[in-house]
C-alpha cells in the first residue's frame, strides 16, 4: 500500500511531499488509519514553517495534529476495520508522525469514535480549533456563568478558535461580542452569532488599572499578552476568562485583585491532553452545531501542495475560519 505524505526536513527544501508505504510508518501504534481529512491549526503553521519549536521528533518528520478517517487494521479489542475515528492532539504531529499522510499509524487509546451526525470532513473543519473553542465554552458554563450573566467576549475572533467559540456560545444562548483586527470580517462574525464586533485595539493596549469596569461576564481568549491583561481587569464579579492561545503574546502581568476582590476565574484550556471522556462530550456538541451552521462555508480546502502557503497565511494573520486538508487530492489551485 503506497500513499503521499508531507515531510519536514532539516535542510532545504524544508517541506517535501513523497510517496511512501505503510511499512515505513514508525511508532508502536496498534492501529492503521486511512486519513480522509486533516486540518491546519496555528500549531501546524508553526511546525510546517519552522517558526515555532513544535516538532519534537527526529527529522524527517510528518506534521499535522488532527486526523479523521477509517481504520484499516487494528489489534485493539474495542475497534474494528472500517470504524470511523478521529484523533486530535496527544502528541500527533509533535512527538509522533502526524496527519499529513494518506495513512498513519496511531494508538487506539487516543482515538475517538466519530459521533453520529458528524462527517469526517466536518469533524476536521472543526479540528483542534473547534474542539478547543467548545472546551472553553464548557469552562465558562462550568464556572457558573450562564447566558443571563452578561456579555462574553471572544478575542482573535476571525480565527479557527474564535469562529467556533462564537458559534458554540451563541448556540448555547450567550450574548457574544467578537474582538477582531479585521474590519472586512464584521459581517462574517455577525453571521456566526456575534451581536457586536469591537476593534481588537481596544483590548490590545492592556489593563488601564488593576480593576476596570466589569464589562465581561466571561471571555474566550486566543490572543494572550496585553489582551489577557485587559480582560482580567475588565471581567465582572465571578466571571471566567478561558485562556486558549498566544497569538498576541505569551507573557502577561496582572494583580491578585480580579481574583480576590471579584472572584474572577482564569481557566486554562489544554486540548492536547484532554481526557477521552471529555473529548466525547465535546465532539457531540460539535456534531450538534452542524444542524445550525453551514460548516462547509467556514473552511478553505487545500491539498498537500497547498499546505505550506496556507501555513504562511495563518502566521501573517491574513486568515479567516479554518483550512482543511484532503490527502486524496494531489494538487490545489495556487498550491
Ligand atoms: N489551548 C489549546 O489547546 C489550543 C488549541 C488550539 C489553538 N490554540 C491557540 O489558540 C490561538 C488561536 O488559534 P487559531 O487556530 O484560532 O489561530 P488562527 O486561525 O490563526 O486565528 C488567530 C486569530 O487571531 C487574530 N490575530 C492574529 N494575529 C494577531 C495578533 N498579532 N494580535 C492579536 N490578534 C491576532 C486574528 O483574528 P482577527 O483578525 O479577528 O483579530 C486571527 O484570525 C493560537 O495561539 C493557538 O496556538 C490553543
How far is the C-alpha of 224 from the C-alpha of 167, rounded, in Å?
21
Residue range of the domain that includes 192:
130-268
- The protein residue with its alpha carbon nearest to ligand 1, atom 22, reads 159
Q: pLDDT value at position 28? A: 83
Number of domains in the chain: 2
What value does the mean pLDDT take over residues 48-72? 97
Whether 335 is covered by a domain: the verdict is no
With bands split at pLDDT 50, 70 and 90, how would you rate the model's confidence at 329?
low
Burial zone of 49 (CB within 10 Å; 0-12 exposed, 13-18 middle, 19+ buried) = middle
In a domain, 158, yes or no: yes
Q: Answer whether residue 23 is part of any domain.
A: yes
Residue whose grid cell is 479554518? 322
Q: Looking at ligand 1, which atom is closest to the CA of residue 157?
A: 40
Within a domain: 276: no
At 204, the pLDDT band (50, 70, 90 cuts) reads: very high
Residue 96 has pLDDT above 70, yes or no: yes
Does residue 142 share a domain with residue 91? no
Of 161, 163, 184, 227, the residue with max ligand 1 atoms within 8 A of its CB, to mutate for a pocket test, comes to 161
- 109 and 134 share a domain? no
Residue nearest to atom 9 of ligand 1 (CA): 245
Q: How far is the CA of 152 from the centre of ligand 1 (A)?
A: 17
Q: Are residues 246 and 144 in the same domain?
A: yes
196 lies in the same domain as 100? no
Q: Does residue 157 lie in a domain region?
A: yes
pLDDT digits (tens, 9 = 90+) for 292-314: 999 999 999 999 999 999 999 99
pLDDT digit string (tens) for 219-254?
999 999 999 999 999 999 999 999 999 999 999 999
C-alpha–C-alpha distance, residues 301 and 37, integer Å: 10
288 assigned to some structural domain: no
Distance of CA 24 from the midpoint of ligand 1 (Å)? 34
Same domain, 142 and 179: yes
The pick from 42, 89, 131 for probing ligand 1's pocket by mutation, whose C-beta has the most ligand atoms within 8 angstroms, reads 42
As beta bridge partners, residue 228 has: none
- Lining residues, ligand 1, CB within 6 Å: 41-43, 128-129, 132, 156-162, 180-182, 185, 200, 222-223, 244-248, 269-272, 314, 317, 319
Residues of the chain above pLDDT 70, percent: 98
The model's pTM is: 0.96
Whether 125 contacts 324, CB under 8 Å: yes
pLDDT tens figures, 140-189: 999 999 999 999 999 999 999 999 999 999 999 999 999 999 999 999 99
79 pLDDT more than 80:
yes
Closest CA to ligand 1's atom 27: 317
pLDDT at 331: 44
The answer to whether residue 281 sits within a structural domain is no
Nearest CA to ligand 1 atom 19: 159
Would the pLDDT of 286 be above 70?
yes
Q: Are residues 66 and 11 in the same domain?
A: yes
Do 246 and 165 share a domain, yes or no?
A: yes
Q: And the C-alpha cell for 111?
A: 482515538
Amino acid at each position: 500500500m503506497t500513499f503521499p505524505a508531507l515531510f519536514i526536513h532539516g535542510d532545504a527544501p524544508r517541506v517535501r511531499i513523497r510517496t511512501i508505504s505503510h511499512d515505513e510508518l514508525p511508532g508502536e501504534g496498534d492501529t492503521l488509519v486511512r486519513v480522509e481529512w486533516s486540518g491546519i491549526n496555528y500549531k501546524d503553521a508553526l511546525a510546517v514553517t519552522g517558526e515555532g519549536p513544535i516538532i519534537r521528533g527526529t527529522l524527517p518528520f510528518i506534521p499535522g495534529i488532527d486526523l479523521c478517517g477509517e481504520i484499516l487494521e487494528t489489534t485493539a479489542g474495542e475497534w474494528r476495520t472500517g470504524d470511523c475515528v478521529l484523533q486530535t492532539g496527544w502528541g500527533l504531529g509533535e512527538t509522533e508522525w502526524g496527519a499529513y499522510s494518506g495513512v498513519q499509524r496511531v494508538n487506539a487509546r487516543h482515538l475517538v469514535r466519530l459521533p453520529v451526525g458528524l462527517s469526517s470532513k466536518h469533524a476536521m473543519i472543526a479540528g483542534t480549533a473547534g474542539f478547543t473553542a467548545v472546551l472553553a465554552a464548557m469552562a465558562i458554563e462550568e464556572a457558573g456563568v450562564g447566558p443571563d450573566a452578561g456579555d462574553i467576549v471572544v478575542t482573535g475572533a476571525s480565527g479557527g478558535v474564535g469562529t467556533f467559540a462564537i458559534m458554540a456560545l451563541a448556540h448555547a444562548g450567550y450574548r457574544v461580542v467578537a474582538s477582531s483586527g479585521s474590519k472586512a470580517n464584521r459581517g462574517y462574525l455577525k453571521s456566526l452569532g456575534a451581536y457586536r464586533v469591537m476593534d481588537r485595539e481596544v483590548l490590545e493596549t492592556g489593563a488601564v488599572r488593576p480593576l476596570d469596569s466589569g464589562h465581561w461576564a466571561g471571555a474566550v481568549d486566543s490572543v494572550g499578552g496585553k489582551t489577557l491583561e485587559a480582560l482580567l481587569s475588565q471581567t465582572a464579579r465571578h466571571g471566567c476568562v478561558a485562556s486558549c492561545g498566544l497569538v498576541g503574546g505569551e507573557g502577561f502581568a496582572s494583580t491578585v485583585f480580579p481574583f480576590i476582590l471579584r472572584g474572577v476565574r482564569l481557566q486554562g484550556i489544554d486540548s492536547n491532553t484532554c481526557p477521552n471522556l471529555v473529548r466525547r462530550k465535546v465532539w457531540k456538541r460539535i456534531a450538534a452545531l452542524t444542524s445550525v451552521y453551514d460548516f462547509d462555508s467556514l473552511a478553505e480546502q487545500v491539498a498537500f501542495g497547498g499546505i505550506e502557503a496556507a501555513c504562511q497565511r495563518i502566521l501573517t494573520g491574513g486568515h479567516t475560519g479554518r483550512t482543511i486538508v484532503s490527502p486524496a487530492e494531489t494538487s490545489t489551485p495556487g498550491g
